[in-house]
């Protein structure tokens, strides 16, 4: 079973990149499941229903979110009616939406779990205890289990990888928007990557215009961050899972940009 996971899609440039790249990736790798992180899809902040639909129409099977989940208020209009979009599971009890979803993958059941870290991010419920509870409830019914751990600190993400080693198919991080180079299959059979990266403006600062971010660093004054325009880059990971064990055979990064992309 092949799973393609695409990093945080940032704004209209990111959405354009997805339209450009996804068809070629699908014909080249033939993934059974395509997942994207959508927390920055609407002008860099949150997502709305039209954009979620656009992703599904392009062959995306599930959308995960993160700390920007609530930035676009339109999400409250549809999150409870859209089982293919999830937000971090360790948000407070009673928060709208779900923290995990079940999908079909090559005829078997895939559990997708979204968690958020607590280091340099708002204090949420414990992501480790939260994932334990979900696995206890849902794990046995699913052949494959994929975790998007949306977190800032590399140490917290690596800890989650080892914590879930052998218990899930893959742990892949999001949120930093920078692709890490530590893809590996852990000894217990869990595919791991600290951060998958992003899809969006290549020459900004994590997707935002240089100017506003630079101004804040230089002056320590508040400044408005605006999504950058211009050329895109595209970061994803391709994970191959064993259909007998549900564990990982391989994980590889995919990284391309507008100047180097050759349509397959
Ligand atoms: Fe993000
Ligand atoms: Fe984030």
CATH code of the domain covering residue 217: 3.60.21.10
Q: Ligand 2 centre and the CA of 201: distance in Å?
A: 16
| Ligand with the closest atom to the CA of 67 | 2
The H-assigned helical ranges of the chain are 11-29, 49-57, 75-78, 127-138, 154-163, 210-219
Q: How far is the CA of 206 from the centre of ligand 2 (A)?
A: 10
Counted residue by residue, the chain has a size of: 264
Task: Tell me, yes or no, whether 264 lies in a domain.
Answer: no
Dist. CA 110 → ligand 1 center (Å): 24
pLDDT recorded at residue 223: 94
Q: Residue 204 falls within a domain, yes or no?
A: yes
Given pLDDT bands bounded at 50, 70 and 90, which one contains residue 264? low
103 Cα to the center of ligand 1, angstroms? 23
User: The sheet that has 108-116: what strands, in order across it?
Assistant: 100-105, 108-116, 144-150, 170-174, 191-193, 184-185
Range of the domain at 212: 2-257
pTM: 0.97
Which segments of 101-240 does DSSP mark as H helices, in order? 127-138, 154-163, 210-219
For residue 134, give the nearest of 101, 94, 109 by alpha carbon. Answer: 101
Structural domain includes residue 62 = yes
Confidence at 188, pLDDT banded by 50, 70, 90: very high
Tell whether 212 is covered by a domain.
yes
Which ligand has the nearest atom to the CA of 40? 1
Question: Which residues are within 5 Å of ligand 1 (an ion), measured at CB?
Answer: 8, 39-40
pLDDT of 61 > 60? The answer is: yes
- Residue 41 Cα to ligand 1 middle (Å): 9
Containing H/E element for 207? none
Which ligand has the nearest atom to the CA of 206? 1
Q: Which two tokens stand for residue 125?
A: 């419920």
Give a yes or no: residue 216 inside a domain: yes
Q: 116-120, 148-152, 177-181, 259-263 — which is least confidently predicted?
A: 259-263
Active site residues: 68
pLDDT at residue 110 tops 60: yes
- The pLDDT tens digits of the residues spanning 79-102 come to 999 999 999 999 999 999 999 999
Distance between Cα 245 and ligand 1 center (Å): 32
**Ligand at shortest distance from the CA of 152:** 2
The yes-or-no verdict on residue 263 having pLDDT over 80 is: no
Spacing, Cα 207 to ligand 1 middle (Å): 9
Cα(244) to ligand 1 centroid in Å equals 34
Residue 25 maps to a domain: yes
Ligand nearest the Cα atom of residue 120: 2
Domain count for the chain, please give it: 1
Cα dihedral: 121, 127, 129, 132 (round 10): 180
């Amino acid at each position: 079973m092949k799973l393609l996971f695409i990093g945080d899609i940032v704004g209209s440039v990111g959405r354009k990149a997805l339209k450009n790249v996804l068809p070629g990736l699908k014909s080249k790798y033939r993934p059974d499941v395509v997942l994207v992180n959508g927390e920055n899809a609407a002008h860099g902040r949150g997502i709305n229903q039209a954009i979620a639909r656009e992703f599904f129409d392009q062959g995306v099977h599930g959308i995960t979110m993160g700390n920007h989940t609530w930035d676009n208020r339109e999400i409250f209009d549809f999150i409870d009616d859209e089982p293919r979009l999830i937000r971090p599971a360790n948000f407070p009890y009673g928060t709208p939406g779900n923290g995990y979803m079940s999908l079909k993958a090559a005829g078997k059941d895939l559990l997708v779990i979204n968690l958020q870290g607590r280091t340099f991010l708002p204090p949420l419920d414990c992501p480790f205890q939260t994932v334990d509870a979900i696995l206890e409830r849902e794990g046995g019914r699913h052949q494959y289990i994929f975790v998007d751990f949306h977190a800032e600190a590399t140490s917290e993400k690596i800890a989650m990888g080892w914590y879930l080693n052998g218990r899930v198919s893959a742990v892949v991080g999001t949120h930093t928007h920078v692709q890490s180079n530590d893809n590996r299959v852990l000894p217990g059979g869990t595919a791991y990557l600290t951060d998958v990266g992003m899809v969006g403006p290549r020459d900004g600062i994590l997707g935002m215009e240089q100017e506003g971010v630079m101004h804040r660093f230089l002056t320590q004054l508040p400044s408005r961050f605006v999504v950058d325009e211009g050329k895109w880059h595209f970061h994803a990971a391709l994970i191959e899972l064993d259909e007998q064990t549900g564990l990982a055979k391989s994980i590889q990064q995919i990284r391309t940009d507008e100047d180097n992309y050759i349509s397959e």
